[in-house]
Structure 1
Amino acid sequence: MMLPEAKLYIDGKLRRAAGDKTYDNIGPWTGEVVGKAADASAEDIDEAIAAARRAFDTTDWSHQHQQRFELVKKFCGIMQANREKLVQIARLEAGSAIGAAFRAQIDGALNGAKDLLECHAKVSWEKDLGVKNEYGFDTKRIVTQEAVGVVGAITPWNVPLYVNVGKVVAALLAGCTVVLKPAPDTPLMGAIMGEFAHEAGLPPGVFNVITSGHAAMAGEMLTRDPRVDLISFTGSTAVGKLIMQNGAPSLKRVFLELGGKSAYLVLDDCPNFPMVVASSMVVFHAGQGCAYPTRLLVPRSRYQEAVKVLEMAYAGFASKWGKFEEPSCIMGPLISKRQLDRVMGYIEIGKQEGARLLAGGKVATDKGAGFFMEPTCFVDVDNKMRIAQEEIFGPVLVVIPYEDDEDAIRIANDSIYGLGGAVWGSTPRALAVAKRIKAGALSVNGGMSITGDLPFGGYKQSGMGREWGVEGIEEFLETKAIGIRVS
């Protein structure tokens, strides 16, 4: 199966890259070419930035709140109408299994778009703070919020539509203009949004999409260009630090949603302890999620019980993954050979560090020529090990025992990251523990802490700022105070 060519969308026009340059779009299931993508030149990227700048500075896009809302709503409606096509792209391009594609990949994005449209009504564009007498005269005060300007949205390959929507829809609702640069591995999921924007009739330059096979050129241009007012980036912490450096000369605003090493903390009074422990397996979308809890913390008093549960759970899952046509399948391949090699490198590190490999740990050659790796679990892990501290971004769970609640909280917080996490136990106790974990999104007993109407972002080196929810729209706004003398 082949995907259509991913084209650029610049200044209201769908077109190929300068010189008709393209690069191969590689499918994770087969390791073979599944499509072509426009390979933007520096001139193409410059044109996209110029178009976004012109649309913000010379049109009324940022001021026409209702008209803008209706156009973005139409844009989101077209995405919804193309749900099946988007699922197919997620399967072929991002390597998503069907069960994951219809959940976090596509429906998560489409439901999130609906949530953002509802959140738009809660944004306060102008507040009246009344009259205050200062220095002997009265002043009427108002506080307004207005769009930041041109946004460079740089997105990853793991859940591309979800992240694209979180940035693009929120920025457009705020009144910004946008240049979207999707990851080289998933170009079509960004490019198709250009097609939908064209169909929706968004004004020229308001939304632009540039795809590039070069690992860094487009991102470097966006993050260094003074015409870009804000960078919204989701990806690794290392790249996030480079973006901050690149934006420093122009004091560019940055939103960074970065790495994670989230804890899945099971308390000793957890009801259904075996089921909860078994559910900690890192298998959904092959563990390629920044907020995915990949450190399982269990009480030492029940540690051996947990290990036996996991041994059985992984054995039972062995035949349930890597099936392209199976509707219930939630785990497929890793995104690329490069990522597969990276994760396998961590398997060797874990062995060298003295952790015990309970399950998996091998390339799954029986699944085909794609980038498949067995679901993997390490036990007898110390939180100081690299496999417990560094983001692996693959189907690898590490299991760490703790002594009591204080020790569990200490271990959970002993990380440079603070993105997500989960706590299981009697609700009052689990909630008390969750409130002491330094992370931006905590689930208690399976509650959903990541939805389109909730703010999402991290503590520490997991980033800065918040995406989604009202806060996600306000991330793209500036605040202005105005005082009007009345006596």
Structure 2
Amino acid sequence: MNLRPTDSSALLVDGKLVPGSGGTFDILNPATEEVLGQAAEGTSVDMDAAIAAARRAFDTTDWSRNHTFRAHCLRQLCDALESHIEELRDITIAEVGAPRMLTSGPQLEGPIDDLRYWAQLIESYSWQQDLGNSSPMGVPTHRQLLKEAVGVVGAITPWNFPHQINFAKLGPALAAGNTIVLKPAPDTPWCAALVGKVIAEETDIPAGVVNIITSTDHSLGTQLCADPRVDLISFTGSTATGRAVMSTASSTLKKVFLELGGKSAFIVLDDADIKSASSVAAFSVCVHAGQGCALSTRLLVPRSRYDEALAAATRTMAGIRAADPSIPGTICGPLSSARQRDRVEGYLKLAQDEGGTVVTGGGRPDDQPRGYFIEPTLIAGLENSSRVAQEEIFGPVLVIIPFDDDDDAVRIANDSPYGLSGSVWGTDPDRVNRVVAGVRTGTLSVNGGVWYSADAPFGGYKQSGIGREMGLAGFEEYLETKLVASPA
């Protein structure tokens, strides 16, 4: 890999690449535990300057009103990032631990290409709507509906799919005419910092429109949420942190978008190809070491065909090695950090304490003495009420649970504080549709259908979040509605 850390170790504040007031902090490669380099350590002073720059850019420039210019800037950014794609790929593999194969899709190339969707949406969106004439209270009046940018957006993002989530916020927020302060996760700062460098040096995006603050200080997120100059907070992360974000933001009654955790169910009906479906479920939970909020981590199978499903899932998971993410063909790379590995290992112990059986996996792979690797693990023998079946683990861990009939499958799927995603497999359309209608979740895949796309909304029910990201619905999260009434 040809990493150039000096290109990715600065903050972006008011159009300038500047050092962090707190110096720098080390970045570790999760596959080797080696220090990759340093990132800028932002402080509360830097965050204050970034917020001030974003406020000033929104209030004193025509960025929010110049739709043609914004579309140009987003296409320009997309082109510039694509010219750095191999550098970004190397950083993503080394810093995130993302398997190389995923960088051709949702870990890198897909999210960058999505910027073209947001540019096109600017040009096709109906920014004004004529509501016609009416006579409220006897006064002849003409009404017009205007869509306008919210203002300054504070975006706080996690480490698991940094490009996908960063651009899922940057793209629609900028397209809608907002300015933004982005605080990426301290585990993956280079992914965001290099984007900041490209914005500053290779685009016409005005100073202050995008600001990026990398830092290990989590209180900067609190500062961003509490600051009255910030009009909207867009947060992706754990449900526990989402509650804190919502509470802090409430002090200024700012808009809040939350995309939070999941414990999604993969439902296999008794008329499906049990072996194939169970294998797909087992495979998918190993992708990127299970570090995806929308991955289905509960495999629900008919009790009458439980043994078939268990055998198929076991074969698949036992055949997938946790391996170096830079090697082509790797599916399951490392966990992001020692902290995350410790968390997953704690749940594996808990599974056995709760009476579960580790069917395959369950520990660190013998052939990986370095790195934060966990073997793909299948757990059987637990009730859906167990903590391991209820709580988000964020590792390559699948729990298999039997059900009695379709209604029971829906009941178990919904017996969760989350409602982010899931899958349904079956051949009878009527049965499948009844299950889809019954499951309370924001996205559902039927027989392998792919819901992830720039033009499709993503988000969850219940404690999986508030609002939608991506698509027209995600774009409109970043808009305000203004009604203008004048004499008819």
1:284 lines up with 2:287 in the alignment: yes
* 1:122–1:470 contact (8 Å) kept in structure 2: no
Number of aligned residue pairs: give it: 481
Please list the CA deviations of residues 225-260 of structure 1 after superposition, one character each: whole Å capped at 9, or x if unmatched: 111110000000000000111111100110000000
Give the structure 1 partner of residue 480 of structure 2.
478
Instruction: Tell me how far apart the structure 1 counterparts of residues 433 and 368 of structure 2 sit (CA, whole Å).
Output: 41
* 1:286–1:333 contact (8 Å) kept in structure 2: yes
Instruction: Tell me how far apart the structure 2 counterparts of residues 379 and 323 of structure 1 sit (CA, whole Å).
Output: 28
Instruction: Tell me how far apart the structure 2 counterparts of residues 395 and 472 of structure 1 sit (CA, whole Å).
Output: 29
* 1:119–1:453 contact (8 Å) kept in structure 2: no
- State the superposition RMSD in angstroms: 1.3
Instruction: Tell me how far apart the structure 2 counterparts of residues 266 and 244 of structure 1 sit (CA, whole Å).
Output: 36
Give the structure 2 partner of residue 373 of structure 1.
374
AA matched with 2:343: R
The 1:3/1:371 distance shift into structure 2, 3 A limit, reads farther
Instruction: Tell me how far apart the structure 2 counterparts of residues 60 and 315 of structure 1 sit (CA, whole Å).
Output: 57
Instruction: Tell me how far apart the structure 2 counterparts of residues 139 and 125 of structure 1 sit (CA, whole Å).
Output: 21
Instruction: Tell me how far apart the structure 1 counterparts of residues 123 and 437 of structure 2 sit (CA, whole Å).
Output: 30
AA matched with 1:201: D
AA matched with 2:354: E
Instruction: Tell me how far apart the structure 1 counterparts of residues 151 and 481 of structure 2 sit (CA, whole Å).
Output: 13
User: 1:68 is matched with which residue: 70, 90, 100?
Assistant: 70
Please list the CA deviations of residues 274-323 of structure 1 after superposition, one character each: whole Å capped at 9, or x if unmatched: 111111112000000000100000011110111111222222224xx403
Alignment of 1:78-477 (within 5 A): 78-198=80-200, 199-214=202-217, 216-270=218-272, 272-281=273-282, 282-318=285-321, 321-426=322-427, 427-477=429-479
* 1:180–1:210 contact (8 Å) kept in structure 2: yes
Give the structure 2 partner of residue 53 of structure 1.
55
AA matched with 2:298: R
Q: Once structures 1 and 2 are overlaid, which stretch shifts more, 114-123 or 306-315?
A: 114-123
Instruction: Tell me how far apart the structure 2 counterparts of residues 374 and 420 of structure 1 sit (CA, whole Å).
Output: 24
User: TM-score, normalised to structure 2's length?
Assistant: 0.96
1:18 lines up with 2:21 in the alignment: yes
> How many angstroms does 1:115 deviate by?
2.9
AA matched with 2:378: C
Instruction: Tell me how far apart the structure 1 counterparts of residues 113 and 275 of structure 2 sit (CA, whole Å).
Output: 32
> How many angstroms does 1:443 deviate by?
0.7
Instruction: Tell me how far apart the structure 1 counterparts of residues 343 and 66 of structure 2 sit (CA, whole Å).
Output: 47
* 1:17–1:40 contact (8 Å) kept in structure 2: yes
Instruction: Tell me how far apart the structure 2 counterparts of residues 481 and 235 of structure 1 sit (CA, whole Å).
Output: 34
Q: Once structures 1 and 2 are overlaid, which stretch shifts more, 254-263 or 309-318?
A: 309-318
> How many angstroms does 1:3 deviate by?
4.4
> How many angstroms does 1:42 deviate by?
1.3
Instruction: Tell me how far apart the structure 1 counterparts of residues 405 and 341 of structure 2 sit (CA, whole Å).
Output: 36
User: TM-score, normalised to structure 1's length?
Assistant: 0.96
2:439 match: secondary structure: coil
Please list the CA deviations of residues 337-377 of structure 1 after superposition, one character each: whole Å capped at 9, or x if unmatched: 00000000000110011111111110224213110110001
* 2:74–2:118 contact (8 Å) kept in structure 1: no
Structure 1 unaligned regions, length at least 5:
none
Structure 2 unaligned regions, length at least 5:
none
AA matched with 2:229: R
